[in-house]
Chains A and B, each alone.
Chain A
Amino acid sequence: MSASESVAESGSASRSKAVRPRGARSPLASFGLHATLLVASVIAVFPVLWILLTSLKPAKYAISTDFVKEPTFDNYANLLESSHFLSWFWNSVLVAGVTTVLGVFIAATTGYAVSRFKFPGMKPLMWTLLITQMFPMAILIVPLYNLMGDLGLLNQPLGLIITYLTIAVPFCAWMMKGFFDSIPVEIDESGRVDGLNPFGTFWRLILPLARPGLAVTGFYAFITAWGEVAYASAFMVGEENLTLAGGLQTFVTQYTSNWGAMSAASVLIAIPAAVFFLFAQRHLVAGMTAGATKG
């Protein structure tokens, strides 16, 4: 892990007078490294931090440049009292939650089948899953909108859930394939020797082992649905039917900007997601690249 760095160091060490131990760094290199990272970190953190600070200022100071000014929770109180924030939040939880559960449930066996079996139709299926994932919503949004209109599902969470399944199902199947690939096939064989059929092997042996993978897949599906903007903006109208993505837009329109409420809402949406995410992120990347490279 530190190889590249120790190699680089010993290279320069041979030129300088004092011989540094492997892995040590010249003060200048050290300074450059920390300076680069510090600048990058500030850029990464500042927008989020600034919104947090703004949310704690009285609304009239929202646009002041002071870091902290008469800190107060008024923005939060106002947000919860005089907007539909809680209904938006509930709508988002409902839509994203049900989408996740259904997506993982429907896609689990498919992920297993494409990981373990060679069967006629597998290649086209894999391609369909891949291509569906890169579908721009532009191609499906109009027909889905008309379909939901015909079924009376516009403005209904159910309509949005069905719509999000178009994203979640191929994605979940693809990602789970990656996780099932990482489970040794010998486990399946031992199950078969013991007389389990493929369903039994899947259900009793593989699924319990794949539980972390399922959790990661589900988490991903959840945050994808949670952050979706296009369908939510087109399908949900009327203040209290919106999801968070739609609701946040109502604070900042072309004519008025309620930055106080916007910042408070942003914090309430972002902080739980961010905390959860930072715990899970190591697994997230492993899963995504595994699913993608082992296709």
Chain B
Amino acid sequence: MAADTSRSVTGAAAGETTLAGRGPGPGRTTAKSAGAAAGSPRGGFRRALATHWYAWAMVAPVVLVLGVIVGWPLVRGVYLSLTNASERNVARTIGVRHIEATYEFVGFDNYAAVLGDPVFWQRLVWTVVWTVACVSVTFALGLTLATILNRQFRGRSAYRMALILPWAVPGFVSVFAWRFLFNRDNGILNKILDGGGISAVPWLDDPTWAKVAVIAVNVWLGVPFMMVALLGGLQSIPAELYEAAEMDGAGPWQRFRHITLPGLRAVSMTVILLSTIWTFNMFPVIFLLTRGGPGDSTEILVTQAFRQAFVASPRDFAGSATWGVLILGLLMIFALVYRRSLRKQGEVW
């Protein structure tokens, strides 16, 4: 019991450090000093085990599960991207007959092929355009609506409910609803335009309009989350700041620029990061609305990878894995750059 108590005390102290300073420093120093005090590395490990076994036992289930269902497939995915695996040569069972895999290791051939292919670069450009367009429009609209809703007026909660509705409906249902509205000959949008004397817009049949349409739908889906998150951020800005600014004679724009925007920075950074990642990987909107079409004009990286493995014939598993690895690489670079820029601005994240 004595040993137990000492451990819990260490735990409690560690807990306090966690809450007090969320910087990157303390954890590492603690571990280092523990190792140094113990002398030999083995003793250090034993000591660490004695101190930290509670924590390690608590995280063990997640580490195990992720190791098996994420780690292993990840390693295998990277391996597949270095082979020529396709539907024709992977191991498969037809009836009772089992056919062994016959695909071969081909090194970096797939990467050379993908990176040398203009298709990859076209997809990348469109994916970036799509992500930037969606995130910036969503953020601008979300911020506008949040600022308006942050005021006091009659019917506020009714408006709020209505504006959140797109978020409450499962994404794939909304996308089908939009497909119905966008229908070229019978969709309500074109009928309304027709009533106004404007000829039908080929929403999903023309490459440019299809791009507009997928962005519009994604913005429609994304605004509610953005709005609610920013509204939360706005409400956490102390009212005294505005009063003080008013005393000093700051105009509405100055107050927005110097109080609201800085006050929202932490929330903005988070929601922009999240929605960038979500949009970059947004599969359902593209897949269900246009299937990447017309032609391949709205295909983003993720849907392209899916198409290669599950739509194209023969299914190209190696090619799809290569695209997957490249997408992951891009996202990790993005996250690192983003984190670095946050650090520079002094955000602790």
Contacts and interface: CB of A to CB of B under 8 A. Distances in A.
Interface of A is mostly: helix
A119 interface: yes
A68 interface: no
Contacts of A179: none
A30 B173 contact: no
Contacts of A277: 167-168
B293 to A, nearest CB: 10
Given A117-B14, A120-B31, A263-B180, A131 B77 contact: no
B150 interface: yes
Interface string B149-192: 11111010001011111111111111011111101001110011
B171 A281 contact: no
A135 to B, nearest CB: 7
Nearest to B144: A36
A7 B280 CA distance: 39
B151 A47 contact: no
B314 interface: no
Contact of B159 (A41, A123, A197, A257): A41
Interface stretch (A70-78, A79-87, A140-148, A208-216): A140-148
A48 B22 contact: no
A19 interface: no
Nearest to A149: B92
Question: For the side of the interface on A, what is the size category?
Answer: 35 or more
A19 B147 CA distance: 24
B90 interface: yes
B335 interface: yes
B302 interface: yes
A42 B249 CA distance: 38
A239 interface: no
B65 A139 contact: no
Tell which of B176, B178, B255, B349 has the most Cβ of chain A within 10 Å.
Answer: B176
B180 A185 contact: no
Interface string A179-199: 001000100110010011111
Given A132-B66, A233-B310, A4 B305 contact: no
Contacts of A23: 152
A234 B178 CA distance: 23
Contacts of B317: 142, 146
Nearest to B28: A123
Interface in B292-314: 301-302, 305-306, 309-310
A230 B306 contact: yes
A28 interface: no
Interface string B211-238: 0000000001001110011001111000
Interface string A2-28: 111101101100000000000101000
A249 B291 CA distance: 11
A103 to B, nearest CB: 9
Interface residue range, chain B? 35 or more
B220 A44 contact: yes
B170 A269 contact: yes
A14 to B, nearest CB: 11
Contact of B69 (A114, A166, A252, A263): A166
Interface in B22-60: 22, 24, 26-28, 30-31, 48, 51-52, 54-59
A107 B59 CA distance: 8
Nearest to B186: A63
Contact of A142 (B177, B220, B320): B320
Given A7-B255, A137-B302, A118 B30 contact: yes
B239 A33 contact: no
A24 B285 CA distance: 42
Given A43-B220, A122-B27, A192 B9 contact: yes
Interface string A45-64: 10110110010000000010
Contacts of A166: 66, 69-70, 73
Given A5-B150, A137-B281, A146-B90, A278 B161 contact: yes
B277 interface: yes
B325 interface: yes
Contacts of B159: 37, 40-41
A119 to B, nearest CB: 4
Contacts of B163: 37, 40-41, 44
A18 B86 CA distance: 77
A69 interface: no
Given A1-B239, A41-B159, A262-B180, A192 B11 contact: yes
A274 interface: yes
Nearest to B161: A278
B145 A40 contact: yes
Nearest to B147: A4
Given A146-B317, A278-B164, A117 B18 contact: yes
Contacts of A97: none
B155 to A, nearest CB: 8
Interface in B248-271: 251-252, 255-256, 260, 266-267, 270-271
A285 interface: yes
A166 B59 CA distance: 16
B113 interface: no
Contacts of A156: none
Given A114-B59, A136-B302, A230-B283, A292 B274 contact: yes
A252 B178 CA distance: 12
Q: Which 9 A-B pairs have the closest CB atoms?
A: A139-B324, A3-B239, A63-B186, A138-B305, A143-B73, A5-B151, A113-B58, A277-B168, A41-B162
24 contacts: A7-B246, A23-B152, A37-B145, A45-B165, A50-B180, A51-B177, A116-B14, A118-B14, A118-B31, A119-B27, A123-B27, A134-B335, A136-B280, A140-B77, A143-B321, A189-B12, A192-B5, A197-B7, A198-B54, A248-B176, A249-B288, A252-B179, A292-B270, A293-B349
